[in-house]
Amino acid sequence: MQTTLIRHALAAAARGWHVFPLTPSDKRPLRGFTDWERHATTDPDRIHAMWTRAPFNVGIACGPSGLVVLDLDRPHPGESPPPAWNLPGVHEGADVLAALCEQAGQPLPLETFTVRTGRGGTHLYFAAPPDVVLGNTAGRLGWKIDTRARGGYVVGPGSVVSHGTYEVLHAPNPAPLPTWLTERLTTPAVPKTGTFTGAVPAAYGDVSAYTLAALRGEVETVLSAATGSRNNTLNAAAFRLGRLVAAGYLPRHLAEACLHHAAELASLGFRETAATIRSGLDAGQRHPRRAAA
């Protein structure tokens, strides 16, 4: 096993990925490697010297490696999807990603470096976008989908944990992270308090204060809607925001992402939500807002 782990650590380094040792049979960094992101290396001599000491699992530091990894997890025994994701055919993170792709009208991004995790989940490795700094997220894209980027690491292929071994399923070079996923990962989230207070990233610095106030107001309207009227309220909110999109005041993906977060907090079903938001925005874009924003 030790020889296999050395081979996998060297193979990762040959791809330009910075590796560091994890505790044998565990996911945690080796004791003493608290600054693992800085000490991770691609140097074959250092790797060989380290991994000949013990059968260390392989950690890959995503930031220095220029990677964004989607972690599509599987539920633990007895764990069920939350109401917004309690849909036919949705049982794990891979199903949620398929639903997100369907909602966005995008293909499944499967033509990239792929690893099966010890628990039977999936790691999809992507090249980080050159002009955006992404960090780690937990559930930001949806149930059972986490992401690892700057400040994060993944357990690399060949590593062995109690549930099984991390195995390479598909070995091309990592594809660029799809633009639509980058946009979703940089869009302000709606806090669980039910109040939209998220700051707007620099990428949206040209969105006016008036438009942001309108966006917050529509999100609040959806969150405060009475049971039985939420879908109609969501449609009306999407229509009004669509008018701002058509007038050039608001990026459509920002409106979409905020409405989806609000609908999820309001316990609306994903498929119904996707259709309602798309229809409302489309209708609104046929009637651009004329007043200055």
pLDDT of residue 203: 38
pLDDT of residue 290: 62
pLDDT at 265 over 60: yes
* Nearest residue to 193 (alpha-carbon basis) of 159, 149, 223: 223
> Whole-number mean pLDDT of the chain?
86
Beta strands in the chain (DSSP E): 18-22, 57-61, 67-72, 114-116, 122-127, 137-142, 145-148, 153-155, 160-161, 164-165, 167-170, 175-176
Q: What is the mean pLDDT of residues 154-158?
A: 97
CB atoms inside a 10 Å sphere around CB 186: 19
Whether residue 112 contacts residue 83, with contact meaning beta carbons closer than 8 Å, is answered with no
User: Which pTM does this prediction carry?
Assistant: 0.69
Residue-range domain boundaries for the chain: 2-176, 187-285
Which stretch of 61-75, 81-95, 115-129, 213-227 has the lowest confidence by average pLDDT?
213-227
**Would you say the C-alpha torsion 123, 128, 129, 134 has a positive or negative sign?**
positive
Which stretch of 35-39, 168-172, 188-192, 227-231 has the lowest confidence by average pLDDT?
188-192
pLDDT of residue 199: 35
| Angle formed at CA 151 by CA 147 and CA 156, multiple of 5 degrees | 65
* Nearest residue to 121 (alpha-carbon basis) of 94, 91, 148: 94
CA atoms of 73 and 65, how far apart (whole Å): 22
CA atoms of 181 and 253, how far apart (whole Å): 10
Tens digit of each residue's pLDDT (9 = 90 or more) over 194-236: 444 333 333 344 567 777 778 888 888 888 787 778 888 999 9
Q: At what angle do helices 179-186 and 252-265 cross, to 10 degrees?
A: 60
CA atoms of 155 and 159, how far apart (whole Å): 7
HSE-CB of 225 using CA atoms within 13 angstroms: 23
pLDDT band at 249 (very low <50, low <70, confident <90, very high): confident
Q: What is the mean pLDDT of residues 10-29?
A: 96
pLDDT of residue 2: 86
CA atoms of 135 and 185, how far apart (whole Å): 9
Backbone angles phi, psi at 45, to 5 degrees: -65, -45
What is the DSSP track for 82-104? -GGG--TT--SHHHHHHHHHHHH
pLDDT at 147 over 60: yes
pLDDT of residue 221: 85
